[in-house]
Structure 1
């Protein structure tokens, strides 16, 4: 689609997503290694590379939003986030007011739900064209199920014919002045619970055109929807790779060792240019190996004084960022620590959780094992610790 400057896109991301189960709001949940909102922003940026994007978020979610925005492909398109209101209608109105303050003010506005991450270039193009032609337009998918109207006791009162029914989606598209005036008028009259922007335009007396939606343009609402969306994303990451990593460090003076970003008390320390986190080093090399991008020393050379005493979680996090920069996701990490002491069993889950945080993947995608070498070799003589790691990643072709 050609670069445009005459329309903007409001992305509504202020909801709590309670139907998606416990945890952070669904728009910030990770799908294939990236927040759902990040996928949505990327889709809109691909479809409309010249459009300003105005996110509307909950006031408590600024940190979550900034992390999602940082994962997007073209953050320069993003405008300062707007804090939403108590309802979706209120949030959209606040986004429209922010757009009204832009120079130049947009001629057209698209309003899109953050939870629809599979919005296509074609759908955005159709929405813009429909708004130009009709002033108010929404995508609608045909309904395949028979729809029943029921009364308060659950009895059927009517069966509307399917040919006249549409399941309405976003992005909904309008002449900017039309929908801004409609939202302002509705708010002034105390009409606050309309469920979409087409309903606001209808309330204000405007005819709303319905153009063809897309079945693929699903809205993520439930936990099952999250799983379905992730599977859809992973189908596009068909280049499955593995990398291996191996590292050793000798014991020296000290009262602790670092393993997987976790500080563990011990009667010796590990000797190295950085903090000598042998486990993090092995996993870092495994990730770099899967990317075919050298090893930890080529990215963070020990000859460079800035890395002296550095926390190895910096190296591990950087390797994970490299995977995401290639459009990929970390599928699994499996690592083994070889030593006689310290005993890692009591710390295993904490180490797993630390690594999961550093590389930003779910805990269930990190496996850590510990073994001795039966008193054989340098680890058996308690001269140091060794670690082996395998990382599995998925990349697009």
Structure 2
């Protein structure tokens, strides 16, 4: 059976979606409201589903929200979504219940804790969170420098202190932790009746663990007040225009026992000669998306002269391009791919390739078409010297002035 690339059993994501969102105004809880035609929760989940290094994703929901949750995740690639966890009366309780559920399932690695009310989290920020715990640290959080002067008030409402601004940061999610110490800190706080922690980093500080920071993302805003929704609705109301991009890639065969095609590892009597993992399908799709965006090509963003991309998994390139579409307020409508080779046979792996591409781009498999053909024994592919791929990406972007 072909293996989809890069899922790491030691990485999980915990999405907290149990709140009622009272400050956001009347109506449904904010995580189930729609922005740009999609539920907020679905938008928050998509970048985590696109990050194939994450092996499982658990969502903590409010009691009685099972039907809302099912509707919100309909159409998403649910293979790595666990059964939803029912949360508690506070965020702190909900996170603890989610961590306990992961632990009961035998998970004991790194967990990314993220608020569903932050639906604009980027693939880059998720990767930065994972990279921040690559060493010995047990906790790392995204932080932004504070640009406003901050005042601390006394009990009467008068200014008590003006902290130095250069030592202040605001923090975001996803926050990255080793599960065991985070769960132990949650259980210790609950055992002492302490329930006032506003984020998990504060709880880890209380437990005596050092917390490191990495750069946050100003676009990673939290939907809190009614005006947050009105502003996003205004942005999403701009007319969308269709744009089409094409991509092409080719790699020669070389020594090896497998090839990567569309994010799937396929046994073969040859490998490919390439700087990265040589996935012609994902390279072509990446260029197609970048072409539709008019943002250069794969070599512009991931030059082969840069040693960090040596042997890199190509789904990272595709996820980056898909995230660029979303960052510009756009949507991916369809991805069409043709693979050209005499061997290996693509047909037996078609569904796995569609699933891998859908996960990397945050779309449903129904928006991914895979075709394969030979070149009738003509040319370099016909002589079995290599393989090639052609791709077309259809997207919609907000109309520009």
Q: TM-score range by the shorter chain?
A: 0.5 to 0.7
SS of match in other structure, 1:94: helix
Aligned positions of 1:193-212 closer than 5 A: 193-212=196-215
Picking from 47, 54, 58, the partner of 1:54 is 58
Picking from 124, 127, 130, the partner of 1:128 is 130
- Structure with larger Rg: 1
Aligned positions of 1:307-346 closer than 5 A: 326=333
1:147 CA drift (Å): 0.5
2:117 maps to: 115
Picking from 141, 156, 160, the partner of 2:159 is 156
The change in CA–CA distance for 1:78 and 1:3 in structure 2 (over 3 A counts) is: same
1:171 maps to: 174
1:37 to 2:41 alignment: yes
1:161 CA drift (Å): 1.2
Picking from 76, 89, 93, the partner of 1:90 is 93
Check conservation: 2:33, 2:39, Cα contact below 8 A: yes
2:226 maps to: 223
SS of match in other structure, 1:63: helix
| Count of residues paired in the alignment | 246
Task: Please give the alpha-carbon distance, in whole angstroms, between the structure 1 residues aligned to 2:50 and 2:235.
Answer: 18
1:237 CA drift (Å): 4.5
SS of match in other structure, 2:133: helix
SS of match in other structure, 2:64: helix
Which structure exhibits the higher relative contact order, with contacts defined as CA atoms closer than 8 Å and separated by 6 or more residues? 2
Task: Please give the alpha-carbon distance, in whole angstroms, between the structure 2 residues aligned to 1:198 and 1:192.
Answer: 14
1:145 maps to: 148
Aligned positions of 1:339-354 closer than 5 A: none
1:231 CA drift (Å): 4.4
RMSD: 2.3
Check conservation: 1:132, 1:175, Cα contact below 8 A: no
SS of match in other structure, 1:52: strand
SS of match in other structure, 1:210: strand
1:88 CA drift (Å): 0.3
Q: Deviations over 1:197-233 (max 9, x none)?
A: 0011111111111111110110001111112334455
Q: Deviations over 1:16-38 (max 9, x none)?
A: 00011110100000111111001
The change in CA–CA distance for 1:185 and 1:106 in structure 2 (over 3 A counts) is: same
SS of match in other structure, 1:41: helix
Task: Please give the alpha-carbon distance, in whole angstroms, between the structure 1 residues aligned to 2:151 and 2:92.
Answer: 27
SS of match in other structure, 1:186: helix
Check conservation: 2:60, 2:98, Cα contact below 8 A: yes
Task: Please give the alpha-carbon distance, in whole angstroms, between the structure 1 residues aligned to 2:238 and 2:147.
Answer: 26
The change in CA–CA distance for 1:49 and 1:130 in structure 2 (over 3 A counts) is: closer
Q: Deviations over 1:285-336 (max 9, x none)?
A: xxxxxxxxxxxxxxxxxxxxxxxxxxxxxxxxxxxxxxx9938xxxxxxxxx
SS of match in other structure, 1:144: coil
The change in CA–CA distance for 1:236 and 1:106 in structure 2 (over 3 A counts) is: farther
In the superposition, the TM-score normalised over structure 1's length comes to 0.58
Check conservation: 1:30, 1:36, Cα contact below 8 A: yes
1:4 CA drift (Å): 2.6
Aligned positions of 1:242-257 closer than 5 A: none
Check conservation: 1:34, 1:71, Cα contact below 8 A: no
Unaligned segments of structure 2, at least 5 residues? 244-330, 335-393
1:250 maps to: none
1:69 CA drift (Å): 1.0
Picking from 58, 63, 67, the partner of 2:71 is 67
Task: Please give the alpha-carbon distance, in whole angstroms, between the structure 2 residues aligned to 1:232 and 1:117.
Answer: 15
1:131 CA drift (Å): 2.4
The change in CA–CA distance for 1:31 and 1:121 in structure 2 (over 3 A counts) is: same
Task: Please give the alpha-carbon distance, in whole angstroms, between the structure 1 residues aligned to 2:239 and 2:180.
Answer: 39
SS of match in other structure, 1:216: coil
SS of match in other structure, 1:85: coil
Check conservation: 1:57, 1:65, Cα contact below 8 A: yes
Check conservation: 1:220, 1:229, Cα contact below 8 A: no
